[in-house]
Amino acid sequence: MTKPVPRNDIESQWMPFTANRQFKAAPRMIVSAQGMHYTSHDGRRILDGTAGLWCCNAGHAHPKIVAAVREQVGRLDYAPGFQMGHPLAFEAAARVAGMLPGDLDRVFFTNSGSESVDTALKIALAYHRVRGDAARTRLIGRERGYHGVGFGGISVGGISNNRKLFGALLPGVDHLPHTHDLDHNAFTRGQPKWGAHLADVLERIVQLHDPSTIAAVIVEPMAGSTGVLVPPLGYLERLRAICDRYGILLIFDEVITGFGRLGSSFAAEHFGVLPDMVTLAKGLTNATIPMGAVGVREGIYQAFMGGPAEAIELPHGYTYSGHPVAAAAALAAMDVYEQEELFGRAAELAPYFEDAAHALRERQHVIDVRNIGLVAGIELTPRPGEPTKRAYETFVKCYERGVLIRTTGDTIALSPPLIINKTEIDLLFGTLGEVLDTVH
Ligand code: PXG
């Protein structure tokens, strides 16, 4: 027998990363979206300052992506992806490979950033093993890193709140120090000059455990979720050099930085540092349909291809890997990015966005502004004894005034769709500035 459920029940859903009781007491519901705007349940237009959750890079409900999804769901809703294929998954993979720099030429599909991270970590471990280097089992992440919520991702991740409830996690994981330092880098525009030496800690970690035991290092080239940490000049280059010296794979988690966020296709291209794998999701489909991917360098793929041709080389995959409707959304999103030159547009707007962000320096509570591409982090001094409250109240007040921002700790993170215009940039930062003057 089914239980009677009231039609407007909002108790049943256990919401993700949400203060459930607080939200349910005063819900903020989104009912539709178009371009740069959401519509709230009470009929207000909300300027999207965060591209959803860093993912709707081409804006909402783009007609070409919507049409591609509609068409595909009627033509082929689903096809199995194990020992079977369908054309769009291959087409989408070739398209992603074509966009990725260097010889990141092989693409494995997942359904989310978390799955992409776990997939990349598993490929790294398996790669060493199939090469006969089976002692390489250690994974190195970084403090304050966010790599989703799978056990692999929280193990290499460095946000203690996301780890502490969940037991012992993966064994054999170590962490680099994070690169956040207000004494040296407050109010830096773009990449900070101070901090490249923090990459050298990798050398010490490698020596501590012995190079022969380390499988991979994973970092976000620009750390998003923890509050926008832009890599210091030379930092990623040093990580690459140390990994090269010791045969360690370098994984860039580009779930946020992929598909134009920094004004380039990928952070790897932006910073001129080629990782061995990249993890992708979010902007891959403009978030229209969930999809993630791992881009892998040719040599890694080939290392798996030595056994008998009838053997499954990588016993890994998801029911929905390369899902036809997601693949259609990805192809359409990549068409839109290219046809509308959105990555170039983001690069062109970045200086204007930077000036608007740094104008907030004069507002009360602001202890740092940092930015790169169409990303800005505005760090507030925490209210004594009540960390995160000031930022949360700023978020709620901005929402009431028709602007969606995102907060993490006491940092406000802004990452609008790449279609934003200058008037909307002014409104975004203008509203935030006014609200900052009203929160105590
Ligand atoms: N890696 C990175 C770098 C991410 O930013 C994930 C992995 C996980 O992706 P999925 O698709 O499994 O959620 C992410 C996700 C925020 C915020 O407000 C950021 C994310 C997700 C939700 C909120 O900073 N990033």
* pLDDT tens track for 231-274: 999 999 999 999 999 999 999 999 999 999 999 999 999 999 99
Q: How far is the CA of 113 from the centre of ligand 1 (A)?
A: 6
231 with 255, same domain: the answer is yes
| Boundary-marking domain end, from 339, 373, 391 | 339
Residues with Cβ within 8 Å of residue 241, at least 6 apart in sequence: none
Tens digits of residue pLDDT in 24-46? 999 999 999 999 999 999 999 99
Residue 200 has pLDDT above 70, yes or no: yes
Residue 4 has pLDDT above 90, yes or no: no
Pairing of strands 214-219, 138-142: parallel
Residue 149 has pLDDT above 80, yes or no: yes
How many angstroms separate the CA atoms of 66 and 77, rounded? 15
DSSP character at residue 160: H
Domain count, the chain: 2
CB distance 77 to 361 below 8 Å: no
Pick from 254, 174, 262: nearest CA to 210:
174
Residues with Cβ within 8 Å of residue 259, at least 6 apart in sequence: 57, 265, 266, 280, 282, 283, 284, 333, 337, 343
Tens digits of residue pLDDT in 123-137? 999 999 999 999 999
Residue 77 has pLDDT above 70, yes or no: yes
Pick from 134, 124, 180: nearest CA to 155:
124
Three-state DSSP at 296 gives: strand
Residue 1, pLDDT score: 59
Q: Let me know if residue 226 belongs to a domain.
A: yes
27 with 99, same domain: the answer is no
CATH of the domain at 363: 3.90.1150.10
Tens digits of residue pLDDT in 316-375? 999 999 999 999 999 999 999 999 999 999 999 999 999 999 999 999 999 999 999 999
Tens digits of residue pLDDT in 110-126? 999 999 999 999 999 99
Q: How far is the CA of 146 from the centre of ligand 1 (A)?
A: 7
Residue 19 has pLDDT above 70, yes or no: yes
Q: Let me know if residue 5 belongs to a domain.
A: no
Query: Which residues does ligand 1 sit against, CB inside 6 Å?
Result: 53-54, 112-114, 117, 146-148, 220, 224-225, 253, 255-256, 281, 406, 408
Beta-bridge partner residues of 47 = 37, 403
| Boundary-marking domain end, from 308, 339, 370 | 339
CB distance 69 to 289 below 8 Å: yes
333 with 347, same domain: the answer is no
44 with 100, same domain: the answer is no
Q: What is the mean pLDDT of residues 276-290?
A: 98
Residue 7 has pLDDT above 70, yes or no: no
CB atoms within 10 A of CB 15: 11
How many angstroms separate the CA atoms of 117 and 153, rounded? 6
> 67: pLDDT confidence band, cut at 50, 70 and 90?
very high
Closest ligand 1 atom to residue 150 Cα is 12
Q: Let me know if residue 15 belongs to a domain.
A: no
Q: Rounded to an integer, what is the distance from CA 70 to the centroid of its chain?
A: 26
DSSP output for 209-225: H-GGGEEEEEE-SSB-T
The residue whose C-alpha atom lies closest to atom 22 belonging to ligand 1 is: 53
Three-state DSSP at 305 gives: coil
CATH of the domain at 305: 3.40.640.10
* Probe target for ligand 1 pocket from 54, 285, 291, with the most ligand atoms within 8 Å of CB: 54
Closest ligand 1 atom to residue 279 Cα is 1
Q: Let me know if residue 255 belongs to a domain.
A: yes
Q: How far is the CA of 147 from the centre of ligand 1 (A)?
A: 7
> 314: pLDDT confidence band, cut at 50, 70 and 90?
very high
Percentage of the chain beyond pLDDT 70 is 98
Q: Let me know if residue 270 belongs to a domain.
A: yes
* Probe target for ligand 1 pocket from 225, 318, 415, with the most ligand atoms within 8 Å of CB: 225
Q: How far is the CA of 112 from the centre of ligand 1 (A)?
A: 9
Three-state DSSP at 371 gives: strand
State which residues form the domain around 348: 20-58+341-438
> Where does 146-225 have alpha helices with state H?
151-156, 160-163, 182-185, 201-209
119 with 242, same domain: the answer is yes
Q: Let me know if residue 11 belongs to a domain.
A: no
249 with 228, same domain: the answer is yes
Residue 3, pLDDT score: 72
164 with 182, same domain: the answer is yes
207 with 91, same domain: the answer is yes
Q: Let me know if residue 178 belongs to a domain.
A: yes
How many angstroms separate the CA atoms of 12 and 109, rounded? 31
328 with 365, same domain: the answer is no
197 with 292, same domain: the answer is yes
Q: How far is the CA of 230 from the centre of ligand 1 (A)?
A: 16
Sheet strand arrangement including 277-280: 104-110, 292-297, 277-280, 249-253, 214-219, 138-142, 173-176
Q: What is the mean pLDDT of residues 410-426?
A: 98
290 with 145, same domain: the answer is yes
Residue 6, pLDDT score: 64
123 with 174, same domain: the answer is yes
| Boundary-marking domain end, from 289, 316, 339 | 339
For the chain, give the mean pLDDT. Answer: 97
Residue 273, pLDDT score: 98
Pairing of strands 173-176, 45-48: unpaired
